[in-house]
Amino acid sequence: MSPSTHPTRGQGQSIDLVEKIAQIDGHWQPRVVAEMNDYQFKVVKVEGEFQWHRHADTDETFIVLEGVLHIDVRDADTIVLHSGQMAVVPRNVEHRPHATSEVKLLLIEPRGVRNTGDGPPGERTVANDQWI
């Protein structure tokens, strides 16, 4: 459902993130649960390794709700996030999230950002504005 047709866009209501994530069948399939201005809040389950990518025009926020997420950062130390922790990967920094077991996340990024970054679409590229 596109944000223009979504009845509330997650505004003015309680959103149960655990319940929303439970509705997602696979891994690496982010789903929008709310918007604030031009930013989207997305829930996702991840396991295994994502591809190296970057977002030239925007930072990306990762908030771990459950599990342990590793974010490899090109030419820097790996970021390790546990439940209740967050990190912001700055724009244009090449990174690769991965998890040895399932992790549940909340992502915050501008509307229209492709999950696989600025490179060519790949097998893990997901269509934008998929609401749950």
1 versus 56: which is more confidently predicted?
Answer: 56
Longest dimension (CA), the chain: 43
Quick: pLDDT tens for 31-50.
Answer: 999 999 999 999 999 999 99
How much is the mean pLDDT over the chain?
Answer: 93
Dist CA 88 CA 115 (whole Å): 15
In this predicted structure, the answer to whether residue 9 has a pLDDT above a threshold of 90 is no
Quick: pLDDT tens for 81-101.
Answer: 999 999 999 999 999 999 999
**Using 50, 70 and 90 to split pLDDT, how confident is the model at 70?**
very high
Q: How far is CA 17 from the centre of its chain?
A: 13
**Using 50, 70 and 90 to split pLDDT, how confident is the model at 122?**
confident
**Using 50, 70 and 90 to split pLDDT, how confident is the model at 120?**
confident
In this predicted structure, the answer to whether residue 10 has a pLDDT above a threshold of 80 is no
pTM: 0.90
The angle at the Cα of 69, spanning 120 to 60, to the nearest 5 degrees, equals 50
Model pLDDT, residue 119 = 83
In this predicted structure, the answer to whether residue 3 has a pLDDT above a threshold of 90 is no
* First CA to last CA distance, the chain: 8
In this predicted structure, the answer to whether residue 78 has a pLDDT above a threshold of 50 is yes
